[in-house]
């Protein structure tokens, strides 16, 4: 491992402190969060994945054999339980109204994971074609100008998965570390099953580069993916993920509709028409909650990826795979979903794309002799505004549209005692 500047380490520590402070101060959560928190609490306090007696109410659950379970993949909850267990032993409780344990558990599995993921991303840049003078700027734009920032302050699976992707990327480009790369890409896929496509992309890239020796990548991935399948079978009597089984959501009081109410239709429960998918898919990128709207600097990363591919620069094959896989997932959500990821600050499903887009698009900065063009600076400034506004509430109402960042600011400004949170 090459040397890492002390300045970068200090800045990452400061970034981690910012994430922890925001987690502690705002303590935002949604059904996506409480579903995981309920599982963490149940694992530690009752030694079960069933959340029937959990303190946190959530609509993100299924009913199996008379018991409720989170329909989210179990990996992050297991990691959270490992953090919560020693806190529980000394008297801290993870429940509404007792908010000390929540920021510590949330920071550990989101804020700290995001910070560590950025550390590995920085190490990965040392093996790229990005010149040393631009590496800190690339890291800073990813850390502070994307949805990694607001979603590093709240309980969610997307920032967690993005960190695992960044770690796996380092071991992949490092060379000779394919077992660890496969393990981490496998963990990312275990946390967010849609990311299996990236596991496949880098597995294929390893095969193209070194042939049969790439088997260790797939073996390592299988070590973490197979237990997830066993979990699904043990709970739901099928290897299919709980989230893709509409019949498990058919219980009294369920808000989820297999095919009826379009606002509450489960992702993957039915397929959209070509006409709807074309319009809706475009809105996922540039609509009222569009991913490119809320991450403007990602346009620069995508441009950089195009340059890398066109010029066949280092890792151009992997860049093609990442671009193709990203398009596949966007098309999938265009046909399989209807609600732009619900009450969320932009389309959270695409957050794990960000470290990959940034890494494979970063070499474009080498064309800047002394400083970035003014329009790049402007793009990054707007990205920083969106990211900071997102910290105030990563789970806003879905009908706020393009005004969501301003609505977050206005809402926070009108809260009682605004400006005194850090003194509480």
Instruction: Report the pLDDT value the prediction gives residue 331, as an integer from 0 to 100.
Output: 97
In angstroms, rounded to a whole number, what is the distance separating the alpha carbons of residues 347 and 164? 19
pTM of the model: 0.94
Counting as low any pLDDT under 70, the low residues of the chain are 1-4, 98, 257-264, 369, 416-424
In three-state secondary structure terms, 50 is: strand
Instruction: Report the pLDDT value the prediction gives residue 216, as an integer from 0 to 100.
Output: 96
The closest alpha carbon to 55, from 74, 72, 65, 40, belongs to: 40
* Look-up of token digits 């020693």: 86
The closest alpha carbon to 120, from 79, 73, 180, belongs to: 180
State the average pLDDT for the chain.
92
CA atoms within 13 A on the CB side of 327: 7
> Which CA distances in Å does 201 have to 172, 195, 322?
12, 10, 7
Helix (H) or strand (E) holding 63: strand 61-64
Task: Give 114-157 pLDDT, tens digit per residue.
Answer: 999 999 999 999 999 998 889 999 999 999 999 999 999 999 99
* Cβ count near 369 (within 10 Å): 5
In angstroms, rounded to a whole number, what is the distance separating the alpha carbons of residues 179 and 171? 8
The closest alpha carbon to 241, from 251, 225, 229, 249, belongs to: 229
Instruction: Report the pLDDT value the prediction gives residue 257, as an integer from 0 to 100.
Output: 63
* Close Cβ partners of 62 (under 8 Å, ≥ 6 residues apart): 68, 69, 70, 71, 236, 242, 243, 245, 248, 249, 251
């Amino acid at each position: 491992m090459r040397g890492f500047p002390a300045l970068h380490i200090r800045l990452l520590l400061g970034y981690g402190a910012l994430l922890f402070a925001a987690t502690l101060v705002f303590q935002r959560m949604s059904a996506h969060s409480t579903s995981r928190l309920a599982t963490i609490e149940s694992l530690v306090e009752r030694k079960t994945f069933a959340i029937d007696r959990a303190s946190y109410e959530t609509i993100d659950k299924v009913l199996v054999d008379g018991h409720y379970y989170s329909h989210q993949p179990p990996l992050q909850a297991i990691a959270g339980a490992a953090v919560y267990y020693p806190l529980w032993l000394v008297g801290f409780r993870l429940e509404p109204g007792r908010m000390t344990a929540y920021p510590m558990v949330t920071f550990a599995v989101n804020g700290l994971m995001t910070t560590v993921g950025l550390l590995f991303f920085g190490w990965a840049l040392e093996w790229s074609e990005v010149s040393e003078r631009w590496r800190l700027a690339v890291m800073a734009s990813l850390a502070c100008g994307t949805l990694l920032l607001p979603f590093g302050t709240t309980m969610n699976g997307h920032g967690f998965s993005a960190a695992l992707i960044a770690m796996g990327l380092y071991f992949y480009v490092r060379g000779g570390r394919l077992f660890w790369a496969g393990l981490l890409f496998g963990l990312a896929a275990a946390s967010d099953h849609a990311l299996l496509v990236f596991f496949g992309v880098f597995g294929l890239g390893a095969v193209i580069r070194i042939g049969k020796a790439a088997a260790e990548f797939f073996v390592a991935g299988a070590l973490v993916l197979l237990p997830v399948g066993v979990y699904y079978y043990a709970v739901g009597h099928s290897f299919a993920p709980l989230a893709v089984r509409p019949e498990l959501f058919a219980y009294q009081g369920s808000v989820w509709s297999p095919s009826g109410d379009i606002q509450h239709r489960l992702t993957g429960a039915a397929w959209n028409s070509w006409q709807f998918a074309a319009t809706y898919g475009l809105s996922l990128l540039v609509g009222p909650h569009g991913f490119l709207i809320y991450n403007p600097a990602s346009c620069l990363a995508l441009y950089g990826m195009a340059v890398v591919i066109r010029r066949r620069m280092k890792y151009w094959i992997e860049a093609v795979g990442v671009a193709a896989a990203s398009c596949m997932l966007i098309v999938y959500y265009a046909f399989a979903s209807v609600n732009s990821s619900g009450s969320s600050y932009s389309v959270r499903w695409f957050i794990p794309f960000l470290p990959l887009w940034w890494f494979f698009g970063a070499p474009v900065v080498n064309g800047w002799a002394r400083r970035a063009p003014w329009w790049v600076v402007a793009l990054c400034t707007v990205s920083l505004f969106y990211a900071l506004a997102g910290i105030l509430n990563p789970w806003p109402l879905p009908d706020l549209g393009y005004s969501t960042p301003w609505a977050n600011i206005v809402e926070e400004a009108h809260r009682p005692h605004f400006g005194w949170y850090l003194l509480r």
